[in-house]
Amino acid sequence: MNSLNTELLQNIKAVETLTGARVKDCFPYQKRLAFVIENGDIGKALGKGARNVSRIEDAIGKKIKLIEYHDDVCEFILNLLKPLEIEDVIGDGHTYVIHPVDHRTRGVVIGRGGNHIALITKVVNRFHDVEEVRVA
């Protein structure tokens, strides 16, 4: 796990207290604060009708993104990209290729100037040792 400052630790504690879900990590993600939730706890983190999301955002004063952790890199990438529609993620242990359902989704995954795919690669590398994540 990467080093966390006091504010991030307080935010993790707030999410765990509000939801009962176990938080694995927390970091800035685009204009939000991302929380990586332990595998199997995403339902607790979201709550019925996803009402916990607004409760968390109100408590910490920031927009959030909840991501369910998975040991399988392909599944983790799919979880990271939710709610985008992704046809498949295929990898060989070093390189992972995201297959979006259409050109619009492909553009969102890549981002302006490739900034989003670079961020995706950075996030995946926080938890898994991969060389490259790219878009088909």
**Per-residue pLDDT band at 42 (split at 50, 70, 90):** very high
Per-residue pLDDT tens for 90-135?
A: 999 999 999 999 999 999 999 999 999 999 999 999 999 999 999 9
DSSP-derived secondary structure for 60-98 = HTS-EEEEE--SSHHHHHHHHHTTS-EEEEEE-SSEEEE
Lowest mean pLDDT among 30-34, 61-65, 69-73: 30-34
Which DSSP helix (H) or strand (E) runs through 13?
Answer: helix 6-19
Residue 2 has a pLDDT of 54
